[in-house]
Amino acid sequence: MQKIIENPGREIYARGETKKKILELINQGTATSTKLSKKMNRRLVTINHFLRKLEDEEKIKRGSLKREGIIWSLKND
């Protein structure tokens, strides 16, 4: 029980932590959804959902399509 109290688990989707973490990782160079999924320990479908949301908000943009997948980058205004 003490372990559960000390470790509340991973961040919650609704609070925006997932979007924030994706932006941080893209800024650091982790740029494909597969790499993001592995780094964040989230399902690929979840990462793709948030990537689409961030793209709609014009915070990120799609780059080239490589064998590894779409290369994402931060959108510079």
- How do the domains of the chain map onto residue ranges? 16-74
pLDDT of amino acid 61: 92
**Is pLDDT larger for residue 67 or for residue 1?**
67
Residue 70: beta bridge partners? Answer: 65
Residue 3: beta bridge partners? Answer: none
Mind listing the pLDDT tens digit for each residue in 3-35? 666 665 655 666 678 899 999 999 998 789 999
Given 2.40.170.20, 1.10.10.10, 3.40.50.2300, 2.40.10.340, which CATH number is that of 16-74? 1.10.10.10
Contact 37, 70 (CB under 8 A): no
The answer, yes or no, to whether residue 49 has pLDDT greater than 90, is yes
Task: Please report which confidence band the pLDDT of residue 59 belongs to, taking 50, 70 and 90 as the band edges.
Answer: very high
